[in-house]
Amino acid sequence: MFSCKLVASALLTFEFLLYAVQNDTIGLWDSLTPSFFTVIDLVMAIVLGVRCEVFIREVKETKRLVINVMSMHYDGRLRDKSKRMLKLIEETPPHFSVYDMWQLDANILLQMFMLVTGLIVTQMQFAFL
C-alpha cells in the first residue's frame, strides 16, 4: 500500500507542478506543498529499504561468523549452538514480505524509482509534444 501511495503521490505531484508551470496559476508556496509530502514519503521509503538491507546483510555476516566458529571448534557447546544457529538461518531465512506478494529490500525501491521515472517521462512527452 505504501509503495502504491508513493508512486501515486509522486506522479500526481509532478502532474500538478507541470500544470502549474504551464498555466502559471498558483504561487511558489502552493506548488511546493505537495512536493514536500512526496519528499517525506520518499525519505520514509529510503529509510525502510536501507534498514531492511542492513538487517539482511547482518544475517549474512552472522552466517559467515557461525561457519567460522564451526570450522574452529569441532566439538562442545559452542559448536552445538553454532550448528543450531546455522540451521535456523538456513531453514527459515529472514525476509520481509508485503502480504507475501513481494519481498521488501533495496531492489524494490529501485524498481519503484524506475517506474516513476518512466511515467514522468511519459507525462512530459504528452505535455510538451
Q: What is the pLDDT of residues 88-104, one digit of tens each?
A: 999 988 877 777 777 77
DSSP letter at 102 equals E
Per-residue cell: 58? 547482518
pLDDT value, residue 80: 92
Amino acid (one-letter) located at 61: E
What is the average per-residue pLDDT within 34-42? 81
Cα–Cα distance, 106 to 15 (Å, whole number):
26
- In whole angstroms, what is the distance from residue 4 CA to residue 10 CA? 10
Average pLDDT over residues 65-80: 91
Q: Which amino acid is at 16?
A: F
pTM: 0.67
pLDDT > 70? residue 8: yes
Task: Give the pLDDT of residue 122.
Answer: 87
In three-state secondary structure terms, 22 is helix
